């Protein structure tokens, strides 16, 4: 892929794993995950090796006992939510195919309009402003701006972008843990006049205790991302007054089962959610779209993972873009799979 820079890393290729889980009835389910080492602590190599063990654990077991299957993976090797999410996705795809339903209906959802943002990685203020202008000229209405390298420069980045695109487009910012507490205070106060919709993860997770104080000093809503891996994290952050919003990602939560628990906990506490991803192809992205349609408290969509410089599209079927609105397939299951011609060139293992 084209190099993509955030506060903690530059990714030059997407570290993705694709799996299929087969049954003796001839049905299979497909799943994908995307490792992002600087955020989740997993790599493509660790995911691939652990996937072999996970597959062995599941041999001969009931694939429709979703919770039981996922508990067995967590008991074997706690953590590693990214590779767990691929197995969770494959089981959900398989179960929905068995039921003859698209995944969003299998999960109890219905159609809704979903418009994604488009993300601009960190560069010079001038380059980021030009990129923003190009995006707006292509019909993008919501920009997500990566920040976190340097507080004063980040303010300049946003100033230039807002000047370049005018008052109409929505702007979201994401520091990816890059700021110190003083930097976060200063930068957010300086950006207050630029109509920022919200700020994701301003500081390191070790500084979560300072988030309530930060919220008192800014009018920009704070969204928890790297601080919120699971339901317990979300509840802790909300009840301590640490965030206004929560970003759900399958690579952090370990899959759809835990993602829905996070969603439900946030809905009960009246905290809206966003659904996002790492660098998944349209395969994983399609599953995210299904999940978003089944979650009424997901009201923000950061579903541009395959638009961030991927040079190859390995997917068959799957999500389509109408401009920057998402169209989800109605075939049973996820409705997306990988091209066998693409997989033929990949390292693979069968258990």
> Quick one: 300 and 227 in the same domain?
yes
pLDDT at 62: 97
CA dihedral angle for residue 206, residue 212, residue 214, residue 217, rounded to 10 degrees = -170
> Quick one: 253 and 169 in the same domain?
yes
> Quick one: 157 and 298 in the same domain?
yes
According to DSSP, residue 77 is labeled S
- What is the rounded distance in angstroms from the CA atom of residue 82 to the CA atom of residue 245? 22
Q: Which of 42, 183, 208, 249 is catalytic?
A: 249
> Quick one: 265 and 227 in the same domain?
yes
> Quick one: 58 and 124 in the same domain?
no
Q: Are 202 and 175 in contact (CB under 8 A)?
A: yes
Environment class of 156 (CB within 10 Å of its CB; exposed 0-12, middle 13-18, buried 19+): middle
pLDDT at 95: 98
Looking at residue 62, which CATH number applies to its domain?
3.30.390.10
> Quick one: 267 and 163 in the same domain?
yes
Both structure tokens of 163 = 């000047």
Neighbouring CB atoms inside 10 A of 106's CB total: 20
**Could you report the per-residue pLDDT of 236-249, keeping only the tens digit for each?**
999 999 999 999 99
Residues of the chain with pLDDT under 70: none
pLDDT at 295: 98
Answer whether residue 348 is part of any domain. no
Query: Looking at the 3D structure of the chain, how many domains does it have?
Result: 2
Answer whether residue 332 is part of any domain. yes
Answer whether residue 308 is part of any domain. yes
Q: Which of 144, 146, 149, 252 is catalytic?
A: 146
Q: Which of 32, 93, 200, 226 is catalytic?
A: 200
pLDDT at 2: 87
Q: Which of 88, 174, 304, 337 is catalytic?
A: 174
Specify the residue for token string 């873009």.
Answer: 321
**Could you report the per-residue pLDDT of 305-351, keeping only the tens digit for each?**
999 889 999 999 999 999 999 999 999 999 999 999 999 999 999 99
Answer whether residue 349 is part of any domain. no
200 among known catalytic residues: yes
Residue 300 belongs to what H/E stretch? strand 298-301
Looking at residue 229, which CATH number applies to its domain?
3.20.20.120
> Quick one: 280 and 318 in the same domain?
yes
- Within a 13 Å sphere around the CA of 227, how many CA atoms are in the beta-carbon half? 30
Q: Are 186 and 157 in contact (CB under 8 A)?
A: no
Answer whether residue 33 is part of any domain. yes
249 among known catalytic residues: yes
Domain that holds residue 43: 4-102
Domain end position, chosen among 58, 75, 102? 102
> Quick one: 162 and 293 in the same domain?
yes
Rg of the chain over all Cα atoms, to the nearest angstrom: 20
pLDDT at 240: 98
pLDDT at 328: 96
> Quick one: 9 and 156 in the same domain?
no
pLDDT at 98: 97
> Quick one: 233 and 309 in the same domain?
yes
146 among known catalytic residues: yes
Both structure tokens of 100 = 């003859």
Answer whether residue 347 is part of any domain. no
Alpha carbon separation from 15 to 3, 11, 53, 313 (Å, rounded)? 13, 9, 19, 14
Q: Which of 42, 183, 225, 280 is catalytic?
A: 225
Answer whether residue 160 is part of any domain. yes
Answer whether residue 112 is part of any domain. no
The helix/strand count (H/E) of the chain reads as 14, 16
> Quick one: 175 and 87 in the same domain?
no
């Amino acid at each position: 892929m084209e190099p993509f820079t955030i506060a903690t890393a530059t990714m030059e290729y997407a570290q993705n794993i694709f799996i299929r889980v087969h049954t003796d009835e001839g049905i299979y389910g497909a799943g994908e995950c995307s490792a992002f080492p600087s955020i989740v602590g997993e790599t493509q190599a660790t995911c691939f090796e652990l996937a072999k063990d996970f597959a062995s654990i599941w041999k001969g077991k009931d694939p429709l006992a979703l919770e039981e299957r996922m508990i067995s993976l967590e008991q074997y090797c706690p953590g590693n939510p990214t590779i767990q999410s691929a197995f969770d996705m494959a089981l959900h795809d398989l179960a929905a195919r068995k039921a003859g339903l698209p995944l969003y209906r299998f999960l109890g959802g219905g159609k809704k309009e979903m418009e994604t943002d488009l993300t601009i990685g960190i560069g010079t203020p001038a380059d980021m402003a030009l990129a923003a202008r190009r995006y707006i000229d292509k019909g993008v209405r919501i920009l997500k701006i990566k920040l976190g390298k340097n507080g004063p420069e980040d303010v300049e980045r946003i100033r230039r972008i807002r000047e370049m695109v005018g008052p109409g487009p929505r702007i979201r910012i994401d520091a990816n843990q890059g700021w110190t507490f003083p930097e976060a205070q200063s930068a957010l106060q300086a950006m207050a006049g630029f109509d920022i919709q919200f700020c994701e993860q301003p500081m390191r997770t070790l500084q979560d205790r300072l988030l309530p104080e930060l919220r008192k000093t800014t009018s920009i809503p704070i969204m928890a991302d790297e601080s919120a891996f699971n339901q317990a994290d979300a509840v802790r952050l909300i009840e301590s007054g640490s965030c206004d919003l929560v970003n759900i990602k399958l690579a952090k939560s370990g899959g759809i089962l835990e993602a829905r628990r996070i969603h439900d906990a946030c809905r009960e506490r009246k905290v809206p959610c966003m659904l996002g991803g790492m660098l998944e192809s349209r395969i994983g992205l399609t599953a995210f779209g299904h999940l978003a349609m089944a979650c009424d408290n997901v009201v923000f969509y950061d579903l541009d993972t395959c638009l961030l410089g991927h040079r190859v599209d390995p997917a068959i079927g799957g999500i389509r873009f109408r401009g920057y609105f998402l169209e989800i397939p109605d075939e049973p299951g996820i409705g997306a799979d990988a091209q066998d011609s693409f997989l033929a060139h990949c390292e693979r293992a069968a258990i």
